[in-house]
Amino acid sequence: MEEARTTGPSTPFVTPQVARFNEPITLKCGAVLGQYELVYETYGTLNSERSNAVLVCHALNAAHHVAGVYAGDPDNVGWWDNMIGPGKPVDTDRFFVIGVNNLGGCHGSTGPKSINIATGRPWGAQFPVVTVEDWVNSQARLADRLGIRQFAAVMGGSLGAMQSLQWTISYPERLRHALVIACAPNLSAQNIAFNEIARQAIITDPDFHDGNYYEHGVTPRRGLRVARMVGHVTYLSDDEMADKFGRQLKHGRLSYSFDVEFQIESYLRYQADKFAEYFDANTYLRITKVLDYFDPAFECGGNLTLALAPAKASYLVISFTTDWRFSPERSREIVTALLDNRRDVTYAEIDAPHGHDAFLLDDERYHRLVAAYFERIAQETAHE
Amino acid sequence: MEEARTTGPSTPFVTPQVARFNEPITLKCGAVLGQYELVYETYGTLNSERSNAVLVCHALNAAHHVAGVYAGDPDNVGWWDNMIGPGKPVDTDRFFVIGVNNLGGCHGSTGPKSINIATGRPWGAQFPVVTVEDWVNSQARLADRLGIRQFAAVMGGSLGAMQSLQWTISYPERLRHALVIACAPNLSAQNIAFNEIARQAIITDPDFHDGNYYEHGVTPRRGLRVARMVGHVTYLSDDEMADKFGRQLKHGRLSYSFDVEFQIESYLRYQADKFAEYFDANTYLRITKVLDYFDPAFECGGNLTLALAPAKASYLVISFTTDWRFSPERSREIVTALLDNRRDVTYAEIDAPHGHDAFLLDDERYHRLVAAYFERIAQETAHE
């Protein structure tokens, strides 16, 4: 937020908006949602040609609040505020940026904790399993609603990047650039394994009640805590954790008990408690499945080049050397498949110590690269 | 077991034995155990000079049943049977091998599920936190009982290797060789984090009852399952999981549900169920703490060289390239500290795809190396 403030009093406060859709949407799993709402925010101004729109897709535990702050709530800063705002790499003085909470989320868009009007009760376990393709389809409807025929760019990191990649396959004509940051063309067995651990922790929590915990007035807090800890460890690099925590003791001496001994334990418990307070378990379960299912090559017999053949966008692909969740090797698979299709690709591996989380952090080389790429987009947009 | 059988009918069946100790032992945490039992097994014959004894230390979820089978139970093969037996790398025709279940274990030695004679009830939460040093001290008493003044070698992998390393510090005169396989001089923040996740899963299971679940007739099965899954993923390499499971589907097609979709999920659930059937949660908690606390350099201001200064043994240190739990880099820290002390060290990094679990597997180069090292020990022993 401090950075946003330095841009001066011209930075307007952000207000979330709701788009209600009454046209049924058929999901990949076969289920049909008769109507649904998407909560979104916008930053900057859509130009008269409607050519400067940028869609920012969120990853596992973020939502539509991408940048800036709400009036009267200065501490709730958007999750990618270091990247997006006036004068920032994605400059909202030039671009019209949209953040949206995805379908199945728990930050206002229709999801498991929403009321299912067919029953008058929360969806709970009945809320369908969603996929990256479903998210992209619902985002396209939001774009229609906002009068955006073609995005200047769709961007995201991690699961967000899977959405920008999918946009180029599902709607090749509707975006000119895709930013695919800290991504993989699909999850490895190890990735799926960590997701499955998180799911098992939630599902076996006695307070889960088969996903219908809302009506019991409880939440599967224990499971969510463990799920969050598993996620958190995989977002950080071993080196980063060594630097940040190492074997530092919480109380300066060992107690030989099951209380917190090491700083890392204290940190994990704190993160877990915080997360379990606000995140919906059914949403978490579904988002881990969204990750597991993402695999554009699957329906092309495992051939990613074939899967990406429809794409027309130009790409900026970025990976981080210490990201062991989605390693640079996985990004290179995407780059190779794009080059096989003779797509325009800029690729960078950034030597950052922060693991998967690096895509959220304020690394100068990373931000300069994104800024330069958006400078190019701005110039192309101006010359169109 | 098949290998053991090929050595012919001369391979005797193994019988576990119990050593009862009535001399109190003071643990590192300050607690005193008035009496305790250790379950152990032996293989081969102690020579008349009592110079051919080899102690095998177990890691997280193994115990005293190191090699061979019990009469009438041909499927329960010792956990390191590919390494230890007649004609094997640790040849029980030449060496007298001892396996022991450590204090606090759940395979027969005194631990949390044993009856505390002071109360007539299981120890449960009251069983003290143990350490590698405590284990080594209790193993030394077992050696006294068996009339072994000096081991030809103490060996182990992972947590077992931490014990062999500690032996050379605690009892430098009582072993000639230490085999330190897939080890680290202490746990990294990431290692501790994974242990903490496992502990939180167990401790927050409503069936844990603050560690006194025995009297409630339940076990914290849900927590143990998650704990085991976390452990399991960290024992395997990403590559190994990719080769073994990849994104293979369990039922050939996607169901878009929370049932098992991928083979890796099925495998993890199976391993978790199996483990939760037989392993004691209080033991698991304590063993993760044993790992966290191990840090011989701690009391020497972080100086491992100083910590290892008392050692007199010769060492065989082995690491595996794809072990991301205890990477070769961590083994090299040990090697460097030993060389600084001018110890005799043989070090090998084995290019194996199996991750941390490689130390348990039958890799020819690895086994040849251990066999050659024991050939050297045998010759030295013969010439003494």
Which residue in the list A91, A314, A356, A357 is annotated as catalytic?
A: A356
Strand partners, B180: B156, B317
ipTM: 0.93
Q: Is A238 on the interface with B (CB under 8 A)?
A: yes
Radius of gyration (Cα) for chain B, nearest Å?
21
Q: Please, are residues A301 and A284 in contact by the beta-carbon 8 Å criterion?
A: no
Rounded distance between C-alpha atoms, residue A112 and residue A110, angstroms: 7
Grade residue A3 by pLDDT with cuts at 50, 70 and 90: very low
User: Active site includes A237?
Assistant: no
- Looking at beta carbons, which residues of chain B come within 8 Å of A187? 247
Scanning every residue of chain B, which has its alpha carbon at the shortest distance from the alpha carbon of A28? B256
Q: Please, are residues B315 and B177 in contact by the beta-carbon 8 Å criterion?
A: yes
The pTM of this model reads 0.94
Kind and range of the H or E run holding B368: helix B364-383
Q: DSSP assignment, residue B236?
A: S
User: Active site includes B356?
Assistant: yes
Alpha helices in chain B (DSSP H): 2-6, 132-145, 159-170, 189-203, 221-235, 238-244, 263-278, 281-293, 304-307, 328-340, 364-383
Measured in angstroms, the CA of A363 and the nearest CA of chain B are apart by 23
Is B204 close to A226, i.e. CB distance below 8 A? Answer: yes
Q: Is B289 on the interface with A (CB under 8 A)?
A: yes
- Looking at beta carbons, which residues of chain A come within 8 Å of B236? 190
Q: Is A132 on the interface with B (CB under 8 A)?
A: no
Q: Is B258 on the interface with A (CB under 8 A)?
A: yes
Amino acid code (one letter) for B86: P
- Looking at beta carbons, which residues of chain B come within 8 Å of A193? 229, 232-233, 241, 264-265, 268
Rounded distance between C-alpha atoms, residue B72 and residue B76, angstroms: 10
Q: What is the pLDDT of residues B254-279, one digit of tens each?
A: 999 999 999 999 999 999 999 999 99
Q: Identify the sign of the CA torsion B355, B361, B365, B370.
A: positive
Q: Please, are residues B331 and B183 in contact by the beta-carbon 8 Å criterion?
A: yes
| The pair of three-digit structure tokens given for residue B65, joined into one six-digit string | 């049943």
Q: Is A349 on the interface with B (CB under 8 A)?
A: no
Pick from B114, B154, B116: nearest CA to B135: B154
Kind and range of the H or E run holding A320: strand A314-320
Scanning every residue of chain A, which has its alpha carbon at the shortest distance from the alpha carbon of B325? A238
Scanning every residue of chain A, which has its alpha carbon at the shortest distance from the alpha carbon of B248? A189
Please state, in angstroms and as integers, the Cα–Cα distance from residue B118 to each residue in A75, A191, A345, B33, B123, following that order: 55, 48, 72, 11, 9
Please state, in angstroms and as integers, the Cα–Cα distance from residue B314 to each residue in A281, B283, B294, following that order: 53, 32, 21
Amino acid code (one letter) for A324: W
In degrees, to the nearest 5, what angle opens at C-alpha A137 toward C-alphas A132 and A140? Answer: 125
Which residue in the list B58, B314, B356, B363 is annotated as catalytic?
A: B356
Which residue in the list B51, B114, B158, B164 is annotated as catalytic?
A: B158
| The pair of three-digit structure tokens given for residue A177, joined into one six-digit string | 């650039």
* pLDDT average, residue stretch A65-92: 96
Q: Is B250 on the interface with A (CB under 8 A)?
A: no
Is B238 close to A188, i.e. CB distance below 8 A? Answer: yes
Does A113 have pLDDT greater than 50?
yes
Task: Note the pLDDT of residue A10.
Answer: 44
Rounded distance between C-alpha atoms, residue A305 and residue A321, angstroms: 24
Q: Is B127 on the interface with A (CB under 8 A)?
A: no
Q: Is B26 on the interface with A (CB under 8 A)?
A: no
* pLDDT average, residue stretch A331-344: 98
Does A9 have pLDDT greater than 70?
no
Does A2 have pLDDT greater than 50?
no
Exposure string over A282-306, b if 16+ CB within 10 A, otherwise e: bbbbbbbbbbbbbbbbbeeeeebeb
Grade residue A11 by pLDDT with cuts at 50, 70 and 90: low
Amino acid code (one letter) for A199: R
Is A229 close to B30, i.e. CB distance below 8 A? Answer: no
**Distant-in-sequence, close-in-space partners of A342: CB < 8 Å, separation ≥ 6:** none
Torsion on CA atoms B295, B304, B231, A243, rounded to nearest 10 = 100
Task: Note the pLDDT of residue A12.
Answer: 77
| The pair of three-digit structure tokens given for residue B102, joined into one six-digit string | 């450590």
Cα B19 from chain centre? 20
* pLDDT average, residue stretch A128-133: 98
Q: Is B269 on the interface with A (CB under 8 A)?
A: yes
Which residue in the list A114, A158, A164, A170 is annotated as catalytic?
A: A158
Task: Note the pLDDT of residue A384.
Answer: 63
B residues 192-231 lying closer than 8 A (beta carbon) to A: 192-194, 196-197, 199-201, 203-206, 222, 225-226, 229-230
Q: What is the pLDDT of residues A38-51, one digit of tens each?
A: 999 999 999 999 99
Strands B151-157 and B53-56 turn out to be parallel
Q: Is B143 on the interface with A (CB under 8 A)?
A: no
User: Active site includes A323?
Assistant: yes
Task: Note the pLDDT of residue B57.
Answer: 98
Percent of chain A with pLDDT over 90: 95
Torsion on CA atoms B147, B150, B153, B158, rounded to nearest 10 = 80
Pick from B368, B360, B307, B375: nearest CA to B67: B360
Higher pLDDT, A255 or A9: A255
| The pair of three-digit structure tokens given for residue A129, joined into one six-digit string | 């399993």
Measured in angstroms, the CA of A275 and the nearest CA of chain B are apart by 15
pLDDT in tens, chain B (384 residues): 333 333 433 457 999 999 999 999 999 999 999 999 999 999 999 999 999 999 999 998 889 999 999 999 999 999 999 999 999 999 999 999 999 999 999 999 999 999 999 999 999 999 999 999 999 999 999 999 999 999 999 999 999 999 999 999 999 999 999 999 999 999 999 999 999 999 999 999 999 999 999 999 999 999 999 999 999 999 999 999 999 999 999 999 999 999 999 999 999 999 999 999 999 999 999 999 999 999 999 999 999 999 999 999 999 999 999 999 999 999 999 999 999 999 999 999 999 999 999 999 999 999 999 999 999 999 998 776
Q: What is the pLDDT of residues A253-306, one digit of tens each?
A: 999 999 999 999 999 999 999 999 999 999 999 999 999 999 999 999 999 999
Measured in angstroms, the CA of B194 and the nearest CA of chain A are apart by 8
Q: Please, are residues B38 and B55 in contact by the beta-carbon 8 Å criterion?
A: no
